[in-house]
Amino acid sequence: MPTLEESMTSALKRRALKSSLRNLSLPSTIQTTSGVTPIDFSSNDFLSLSTSTLLHNEYLSLLQSHLSSTTCVESSSSSKPTPPTLGSTGSRLLTGNSPLALDLESQISTFHRSPYLGSGALLFNSGFDANSAFFACVPQKEDVIVYDEQIHASVHEGMRGSRSSKFIAFEHNNVCDLRRILDILNLEGGKRNVFVAVESLYSMDGDLCPLRSVVDTVEDIFGLGGITERGRGYIVVDEAHSTGVYGPSGRGLVSELGLEKKIFARLHTFGKALAGNGGMLFTSPFQWISHCTLNLAT
């Protein structure tokens, strides 16, 4: 029986033989003979905000302003002003919520032009966690999740923990195949809800989702679910790679196509074009969706 070290060494050797052994390395700075730095098409820093002096200065100014402010914390033993802390200090459900987080959620909702009363934004520490939390908590036992075969791993992670037990992939960006699957589900009858998961821009090949056709197909067969609709089709769009690039002021492909009222949930991330960290889930109706993600985690 091989030891753990021997088993792991053997597994790594097999990867090396397939030229798939990975290592962590620092990105190299390459310059042409003319001294010009070439464009890096492998980077997620689409808008070069990570190297923006203006953004750096704004961030440091805001941080300094936050650290300089004080709040008075009343207690039986002391009433000395206590400066704001760095970090959340804990889960938002317990002691880690803050006015800064609530204010950011409010600003994001306003920026994305909440199309009707009841929409809102919920912050996550990453886009991956936002996707996995949504698909683990919102679809219920009898519901079905239909997804593009190239959907991100975070959606698969959420489906593995989902109360739903039926997951069906359709051919990448193939609306005809999507319609075929939805027609079968419709013929099977029942009152179950159908969640359709797509990405607005797929990172592997850089191709766009035919989103308007997807919306028309789901609406035609099941109707659209949401605060203004009473259908059973719920479209969820991952806008991770379109954030900052498509739509007015970088609001994404959904906004560019004017489909805000047709989409049940949108995911936007901060870690790519926005040069930050975290993610935002924009949903309608917001109140009970946020309660689901906060209370129905498996």
pTM score, whole prediction: 0.85
C-alpha dihedral, 22 to 26 to 27 to 30, nearest 10°? -120
Percent of the chain scoring above 90 in pLDDT: 53
d(C-alpha 287, C-alpha 70), whole Å: 32
Whether residue 46 lies inside any domain: the answer is no
pLDDT at 76 over 50: no
Residue with tokens 């007015």: 248
DSSP state of 220: H
Considering 28-32, 245-249, 286-290, the range whose residues carry the highest mean pLDDT is 245-249
pLDDT (0 to 100) of residue 117? 45
pLDDT (0 to 100) of residue 75? 40
- Burial call 3-19: b when 16+ CB within 10 Å, e when fewer: eeeeeeeeeeeeeeeee
Whether residue 248 lies inside any domain: the answer is yes
pLDDT at 127 over 70: yes
Bridge partners, residue 72, by sequence = 81
pLDDT (0 to 100) of residue 226? 73
Whether residue 60 lies inside any domain: the answer is no
CATH at 233: 3.40.640.10
Whether residue 61 lies inside any domain: the answer is no
pLDDT (0 to 100) of residue 86? 73
Task: Determine the structural domain holding residue 164 and report its residue range.
Answer: 103-295
> How many domains is the chain partitioned into structurally?
1
Per-residue confidence at 112, pLDDT binned at 50, 70, 90? confident
For the chain, give the longest Cα–Cα distance. Answer: 69
Per-residue model confidence as pLDDT tens digits over 265-295: 999 999 999 999 999 998 876 666 676 667 7
d(C-alpha 294, C-alpha 298), whole Å: 11
pLDDT (0 to 100) of residue 296? 65
Whether residue 1 lies inside any domain: the answer is no
